[in-house]
Amino acid sequence: MSQSPVLENPLKEGIRIERASEPCAMVIFGAHGDLTKRKLIPALYALYIEGFLPREFCVVGMSRTKMTHEEFRKAMRNSMQQFASDIPLESAKWERFEQMLYYLPGHFDQKGGLDELASTLKELSEKHGTQGNTLFYLSTPPSLYNPIIDRIQESGLASGKQMQSLPWPRIIVEKPFGHDLETAMQLDERLHQVFKESQIFRIDHYLGKETVQNIMVLRFANGIFEPIWNRQHIDHVQITNAETIGVEGRGAYYEEAGNMRDMIQNHMLQLVSLVGMEPPITLDAEAQRDEKAKVLRCIRPFDLNRLEEHAVRGQYGPGFIAGQQVPGYREEEKVPPNSHRETFTALKLKIDNWRWADVPFYVRSGKRLAKHVTEIAVHFKKAPHRLFNAQFQGAADIIGPNVLVLKIQPDEGVSLKFFTKQPGTATNLRWLSMDFNYGSAFGQRTPTAYERLIHDCIIGDASLFSRSDFVQASWELITPVLSRWDETPEASFPNYAAGTWGPPESDQLLAPDGDVWRSL
């Protein structure tokens, strides 16, 4: 039986060593796809060499492509070399790890399609000691979610739903969680017919990023931040997700989804909830998810009669990225020449509760923008008495608010912007930043988001996963906007050139409050 190595000094890993991993088998539906090659297998191998996989563990990949176990193992090793160069691929360790990898071809939409899987899992339970625990990963197009759930139910593989102990089934569902409120609720209902809510892990890789996890620590473990994390001291919050890439050959998918569904409904609203949440009573998963769901329920619904004051959409046209000419969205593969699908979204959100009353949260996300960056910028109110404005010429033009920036990608870290005096006999003011960067601060490789999230699934910790009520609240907020946009196609598309910061209309969301988008 393959075993993961023992840590030489497990105490260096902090509290994670206290969370025991239970024996289990992991079934990856859609194992021949890019997600498995680029993210899942590299994450599992990294967990293996770090000692975070249970000793009693195995993986069964399934897809329609016919392959043997050995062919699958070879393909996964090639993927490691191609997509995970930062993870040391040592021959001896990989040879032990790959003995836990298996493969079965299958058709998920056919009755009886998982019968062979059921018998295989039984054999592997005896061989690897997984005790019948099974973690299902839906790494497939959403159209296959319901057929796979049907097959899991009819094969009896989720019979552990009613059991309070071993064996257990768990299921990981990749976004999108539905196409709108109605389809999201239909998927949710189907999932709950087969699994308990505690067994459903709706994965959002943004929540596995170190800076995102650090938001709660920054706020609730430091006495200097929480007392000023409110409307008395914070002027507004800006959350930006900017990508320089286009739709990357996914024109058909993006034409169905668009930016609002692809980024806002999940990733961006998760960030809003983490910034805006109240302190949970404990670090228990449900206590944390209670507070995040409350934030979404407090967001003021959009006034559809004045929607342009709160929501802006955009679509990129031809332009230049890094000096290279790139096509517009309508010239992308599998995109109609008259498409009205948005590739950019900007929202002005108001959270109607005691902490955040009258503090706008500005959210923007888009493709083919000027820079690749995702960050949260907390803009504090200006100093109440402008002492230096009165005494020093030119100071009024440069003195602005302090800004706390949580950098999510590409370089994860935290930055605090503040004023200081330049050395010299004159009093000259200058902006400086105190910067913390994960890569340089700890001198070690930062685990990928999927490493943390898969490990949490194995140990049954749902803290970083979306709960049913959060998903429902997010769709309730944005579905009316999507419906209105579908009813009134935007005649000005494309309305921003690739390589810019989006349509000029997005600036008007901030203008009434005297705010501007942060320069990135």
d(CA 388, CA 381): 16
Q: Which of 436, 246, 240, 229 is nearest to 334 (CA)?
A: 246
Same domain, 300 and 426: yes
441 compared with 206, residue with greater pLDDT? 206
Place of tokens 């959100």: 349
- Which of 95-99, 209-213, 368-372, 397-401 is least confident? 397-401
Please report the pLDDT score of residue 443 as a whole number: 67
Q: Are 499 and 321 in contact (CB under 8 A)?
A: yes
- Residue 83 resides in a domain: yes
For residue 149, the tally of other CB atoms under 10 A from its CB is 22
Question: Is the domain of 321 the same as that of 377?
Answer: yes
Q: Is 260 exposed, middle or buried (0-12, 13-18, 19+ CB in 10 A)?
A: buried
In a domain, 179, yes or no: no
E strand or H helix at 256? helix 251-259
Helix or strand holding residue 484 (H, E): helix 468-487
Residue 275 and residue 366 in contact, taking contact as beta carbons nearer than 8 Å: no
Residue predicted with more confidence, 135 or 446 = 135
Q: What is the pLDDT of residue 396?
A: 46
**What number of other Cβ atoms are within 10 A of residue 233's Cβ?**
14
Q: In angstroms, rounded to a whole number, what is the distance separating the alpha carbons of residues 358 and 380?
A: 14
Identify whether residues 484 and 392 lie together within a single domain.
yes
Residue ranges making up the domain that contains 101: 10-16+23-174
Asked if 342 contacts 290 with a C-beta cutoff of 8 angstroms, the reply is no
Amino acid at 410: P
Residues 239 and 164 in one domain: no
Average pLDDT over residues 23-50: 95
pLDDT digits (tens, 9 = 90+) for 52-111: 999 999 999 999 999 999 999 999 999 999 998 888 889 999 999 999 999 999 888 788
Token pair listed for 164: 């309070």
**Residue 228 and residue 114 share a domain:** no
- 162 and 215 part of one domain: no
The domain that holds 327 is classified in CATH as 3.30.360.10
Q: Kindly state whether residue 193 falls inside one of the protein's structural domains.
A: no
CATH number for position 64: 3.40.50.720
H/E element, 237? strand 234-242
Which 8-state DSSP code applies to residue 164? S
- Strand partners for 172: 137, 201
Q: pLDDT by residue (tens digit) across 258-304? A: 999 999 999 999 999 999 999 999 989 999 999 999 999 999 999 99
Write down the residue that tokens 């503040």 correspond to. 418
pLDDT surpassing 70 at residue 344: yes
Cα–Cα distance for residue pair 203/197, rounded to 1 Å: 13
What's the CA gap between 41 and 47, in Å, rounded?
Answer: 10
In-domain check, residue 320: yes
Taking the C-alpha atoms of residue 229 and residue 355, their distance in angstroms, rounded to an integer, is 8
Report how far residue 135's alpha carbon sits from residue 461's, in angstroms, rounded to the nearest whole number: 13
**What are the start-end ranges of the E strands in 64-185?**
101-105, 134-138, 169-174
Residue 267 known to be catalytic: yes
Residue 315 pLDDT exceeds 90: yes
Q: Which residues in 30-69 are b (16+ Cβ under 10 Å) and which e?
A: bbbbebbbebbbbbbbbbbbbbbbbebbbbbbbbeeebee
Dihedral angle computed from the Cα positions of residues 427, 428, 429 and 431, in that order, rounded to the nearest 10 degrees: -140
- For residue 191, is it left (φ>0), alpha (ψ between -120 and 50) or beta? alpha
Q: Cα(144)–Cα(132) distance, rounded to whole angstroms? A: 24
**Per the domain annotation, does 386 fall within a domain?**
yes
Q: Is residue 82 part of a domain?
A: yes
Do 138 and 172 touch, CB atoms closer than 8 A? yes
Closest to 296 in 3D by CA, of 268, 269, 278? 269
Non-local (6+) Cβ contacts of 92 within 8 A are none
Q: Which residue among the candidates 179, 205, 267, 310 is catalytic per the annotation?
A: 267
249 pLDDT higher than 70: yes
Helix, strand, coil % over all residues of the chain, rounded to 5: 40, 20, 35
Rounded Cα distance between 458 and 53, Å, is 8
Please indicate, yes or no, whether the overall pTM of this predicted structure exceeds 0.85: yes
Q: Judge if 270 and 140 occupy the same domain.
A: no
100 and 48 together in one domain:
yes
Cβ 301 vs Cβ 490: under 8 Å: no
Structure tokens at 388: 């230096």
Position 435 in a domain: yes
Give pLDDT tens digits for 108-134: 878 888 999 999 999 999 999 999 999
- Which of 116, 150, 174 represents a domain boundary (last residue)? 174
Does 430 have pLDDT greater than 90? no
Name the domain count of the chain.
2
Domain boundary among 174, 193, 227: 174
> Both 216 and 105 in a single domain?
no
472-513 pLDDT, tens digit each = 999 999 999 999 999 999 999 999 999 999 999 999 999 999
159/214 same-domain check: no
Which residues, in sequence order, are CB contacts of 396 under 8 Å at separation 6+?
A: 386, 389
Query: How many degrees, rounded to 5, is the angle at CA 251 between CA 246 and CA 253?
Result: 115
Query: Among 156, 174, 192, where does a domain finish?
Result: 174
Are 166 and 241 members of one domain? Answer: no
- The answer to whether residues 240 and 297 belong to one domain is yes
Task: Kindly state whether residue 109 falls inside one of the protein's structural domains.
Answer: yes
User: Could you give the CA distance from residue 202 to residue 207 in angstroms, rounded to a whole number?
Assistant: 11
Question: 452: part of which helix (H) or strand (E)?
Answer: helix 449-459
